[in-house]
Structure 1
Amino acid sequence: MQHCGPRGALSGEHEINGLHVHTGIPDQESGVHALNADRRWLPTLLAISANSPFWCGSDTGFASWRAIHSRRWTTAGCPPWFADAADYRARVAALMGI
């Protein structure tokens, strides 16, 4: 039996690659504004990044298996809408308290 590491079996099945870009944001208010403004582009970005409905030689029944497969990770997906930087900090604090 082989140990799967800290992420368990998920890490062995995570065969998804992508590209992301880091940008400098001067402060949290600007960051929250950028997150909220980018939300309108998410359907387009998902459409152009869609991939095959097949996984391990089988039709999954989904138009893009990668979109479904990546939802296993709690850090994947669209962040919620934030009213402002204080709302962002409050939600982070609540998550850290779990």
Structure 2
Amino acid sequence: MTSYVRTNSPAQVRSLSTFGKHLQRSVLTATLLAAASTGSEAQPYVRADGSTIDDLEAARASWRHDAEFNGNVGLAAINTDAAYALGSTGRGPELLACPRPS
């Protein structure tokens, strides 16, 4: 990428290679941190009562059998039980899925 800097002297072309190097370093660091954070330890899945368990399917089943969860049909329609079992609380930045009508 090339940028043009306007000064009193003739136009100068400056490369954004420094930015590119910082960007590559940042991406590499983020990738390494993500790889390191997915360790081999057992994932504690969250059940509807707030306790943790090592079995994902058992945690999902506890959410599907919860009275409050079943009170909202939309939660089951988009498999929110899986997100809740993985520990999603709805706080902070999350990925939002917006299904498109066919």
Which bracket does the TM-score occupy, shorter chain normalised? under 0.3
Report 1 or 2 for greater relative contact order, CA contacts < 8 Å, sequence distance ≥ 6. Answer: 1
Using the size of structure 2 for normalisation, the TM-score is: 0.26
Using the size of structure 1 for normalisation, the TM-score is: 0.27
Larger of the two Rg values belongs to structure: 2
